[in-house]
A = this chain, B = another copy of it.
Amino acid sequence: MSDASARVESALALALAGACGPGAPPRLAAAMQHAVFPGGARIRPRLCLAVASACGDPDPALSDAAAAAIELIHCASLVHDDMPCFDDSMLRRGRPSVHGAYGAPLALLAGDALIVLGFETLARAASSSASSSASSGAWSGASAGSLADLVLILSRCSGMPGGIVGGQAWECEPCVDLAAYQRAKTGALFAAATMAGAAACGRPHEGWRVLGERLGEAYQVADDLADTLSGPQEIGKPGGQDALRGRPNAALQLGARGALARLETLVGEAIASLPACHDPDALRRLVLIEVQRLLPKDTVLRAA
C-alpha cells in the first residue's frame, strides 16, 4: 500500500472511530463501517493528498482530514444513490450495498451521518491543529482561514446548486441540463479534492480547480470506455449498460478511439493547468499513473 493510501485508510478509520464509539446505536455504526470499508480506489482522497504534498503539506493531520472528508461525502452519495428511491441497487463493489445489507432506514441514516462526519472531521482536525500549534492558544491565521475554506469547498461540492446532491437532482427534472448534471455529479468532488489539498496547506485553492475538473471528466470518459470495451470480469459489473439504458456515453458518441483522444486532451489540459507548487513533477507523474489505472487493460495512454 502506498504511503498516500495508508494515510487515507488511517484517516477514515480515525473518523469512523469517533462516530461509532461507545454509546452509538450498533446497527447504524455497522452500516457506516460497511459503507466506508473496504473502499474502492480512493482516487479522490489520494488526489487530495497528492496536491497537499505538492504544496509542501505543512499540516499533515489537516490534509488527512480533508482527504477523509472528501471520501466520506463520496461514500455517503453512493449509499443514498443505491437506495430504493434511486438505483435500488442491492450490490456495490461486488458485495451487498448498505441498503441491501441493512435496509432502507439505516441506509438513509448512514448517508446522513457520513455527510455530517465529513464536516466534523474537518473541524476536529482544525481544532486540534490550532491548539497544538499556537503556544498562545490563539488561532493562527492559516489554520483558521483553512477551516472556512475547507468547509466551503466541501459544502459546495456536496450540496446545492453545484454539488453531488444538485447533480443527482437533475435525474428528477423533466428537462435535464446534461453538462450541469455531469459537472455536479462527478466533476465537483474531483475539483473539491484538488482544492481541498491546497486549502489544507493554507494555500490559495482556486487555481487547483481546473486540475480536478479535467481529471473528473477524464474519469467519466474512462468509465465510459470501460463500459463499452470491458468484459464483466474486468469491471465487476456487466459491460454495455449505457447502450442498453440509453445513457450518455463518450465512447458510444465518439467511438473508442475518439474517446481515448478526448481523454488524452483532458489529461493534457489537467497537467498544463498545474499552478506553481513545491513538486510539480511528482504530481504530473502521479496524474499519469492514476489515469492509466482507470483505463481498460491493453489501452495505453500516450504521455501528455
Contact of A162 among B23, B27, B166 (CB under 8 A): B23
SS class of chain A's interface: helix, strand, loop or mixed?
helix
Interface status of A26 (Cβ within 8 A of chain B): yes
How far is it, in angstroms, between the C-alpha of A161 and the C-alpha of B83 when the chains are bound?
22
Chain B residues in 8 Å Cβ range of A169 = 25, 27-28, 106, 109
A19-B160, A25-B173, A123-B152 given; A113·B144 CB < 8 A: no
How far is it, in angstroms, between the C-alpha of A148 and the C-alpha of B120 when the chains are bound?
9
Decide if A32 touches B160 in the complex (CB within 8 Å).
Answer: yes
Interface status of A20 (Cβ within 8 A of chain B): yes
Interface status of A119 (Cβ within 8 A of chain B): yes
Decide if B139 touches A172 in the complex (CB within 8 Å).
Answer: no
Decide if B113 touches A116 in the complex (CB within 8 Å).
Answer: no
Contact of A159 among B27, B120, B147 (CB under 8 A): B120
How far is it, in angstroms, between the C-alpha of A139 and the C-alpha of B145 when the chains are bound?
7
Smallest CB separation, A104 vs chain B (Å): 4
The 5 closest A-B pairs by CB, nearest first: A144-B144, A116-B159, A24-B161, A120-B155, A123-B151
14 contacts between A and B (CB under 8 A): A19-B160, A23-B161, A27-B173, A28-B169, A105-B171, A116-B165, A123-B147, A126-B148, A138-B141, A139-B141, A139-B145, A144-B147, A147-B147, A151-B151
Q: Which A residues contact B (CB, under 8 angstroms)? A: 19-29, 32, 76, 80, 83-86, 103-106, 108-109, 111-113, 115-117, 119-120, 122-124, 126-127, 130, 138-139, 141, 143-145, 147-149, 151-152, 154-156, 158-163, 165-166, 168-173, 177, 180
